[in-house]
Amino acid sequence: MPKERDVFKMIWTNFRNSLRPRQIRGNLIGKDNFGNQYFEIPADPSIGKRKDARWFEPVVKDNFMQEMPAEWEAWLRGRRKEPPTVEEVLRNQAIADMKKVNAAELREEYNPEGVTQKKPETVQTFPKYEEYEIVPGEKEDRK
């Protein structure tokens, strides 16, 4: 005889599971050299949570536009599984600083007199026709 589903038992089980405490505060994963802290709540398929929850707390609260290392941003957006190590962030920062120094040296080598280069003239991307208005409702005198 096939076992029938007991609706009341399912409702009671779901209600009881909903009362169990869940992890609300994430695990501290790491800090960057700017002082931002990074947190994660791992996925738990037993409760239907398939993705990790990741976020950061900036040094200055409510200022989410402050600087962040690219490695940590990639971890937050899920482009990498493992969080970056301090050594990796420092190594990449040293490479970026070296590239800035090399670029400054090349600029000095190929521009020794300090002559500023002209910026290219801006190219108008759209043609202007006299029979069309540029701003709706405003006619422009083109004489």
Asked if residue 141 is part of any domain, the answer here is no
What's the whole-number mean pLDDT along residues 119-127? 73
The parent domain of residue 13 ranges over 7-109
For residue 84, the tally of other CB atoms under 10 A from its CB is 20
Asked if residue 40 is part of any domain, the answer here is yes
Please say if the pLDDT value at position 2 is more than 80: no
Average pLDDT across the chain, whole number: 82
Asked if residue 132 is part of any domain, the answer here is no
Q: Where are the alpha helices (DSSP H) in the chain?
A: 7-19, 70-76, 86-110
Q: Which of the two residues, 17 and 79, has the higher pLDDT score?
A: 79
Asked if residue 139 is part of any domain, the answer here is no
What's the whole-number mean pLDDT along residues 118-134? 76
Please say if the pLDDT value at position 75 is more than 80: yes
What's the whole-number mean pLDDT along residues 105-123? 75
pLDDT of residue 140: 65
Q: What is the 3-state secondary structure (H, E, C) of 29-68?
A: EEECCCCCEEEEECCEHHHCECCCEEEEECCCCCCCCCCC
pLDDT of residue 98: 96
Q: What is the dihedral sign for C-alpha 41, 42, 48, 50?
A: positive
What's the whole-number mean pLDDT along residues 9-14? 85
Domain count for the chain: 1
pLDDT of residue 3: 64
Asked if residue 62 is part of any domain, the answer here is yes
Asked if residue 121 is part of any domain, the answer here is no
Asked if residue 45 is part of any domain, the answer here is yes
Asked if residue 67 is part of any domain, the answer here is yes
Tell me the C-alpha distance between 7 and 129, whole Å.
72
Least confident of 32-46, 80-94, 107-121: 107-121
pTM for the whole thing? 0.57
Token readout for 9 is 């038992």
Please say if the pLDDT value at position 143 is more than 60: no
Would you call 75 exposed, middle or buried from its count of C-beta atoms within 10 A (0-12, 13-18, 19+)?
buried
